[in-house]
Amino acid sequence: SNRKITISTIISHINQYVSEGFEVDFNINFNKYFTEVEEKIILEKVKDIGYLKIKPIKESLPSDITYDQIKLVILKYNMESNR
């Protein structure tokens, strides 16, 4: 659906922005999108593989984890390491 692409694109833009060192001054309720366990396994892979390419991360995770969840975990991680 179009909406999903839009959310994905927004996440990508914010990630780009945050990874360049800009601060984002809004809060996202990440708990709506992934559990602590999901966050943990995604972050482990991100730290192994890096987050420049999402596809290898996605392929190394359980199939029920979505691209958007991966991007949101990366976003949360980037936002926290920027504060």
What is the pTM assigned to this prediction?
0.76
- pLDDT tens digit string along 62-71? 999 999 899 8
**What pLDDT is recorded for position 5?**
60
The span from the CA of 71 to the CA of 9, in Å, is 10
The span from the CA of 14 to the CA of 63, in Å, is 25
- pLDDT tens digit string along 3-39? 566 777 877 888 788 878 877 776 778 888 999 999 9
- Residue 13 corresponds to which tokens in the numbers above? 């833009």
High-pLDDT (> 90) share of the chain, %: 39
Q: Is the pLDDT of residue 1 over 80?
A: no
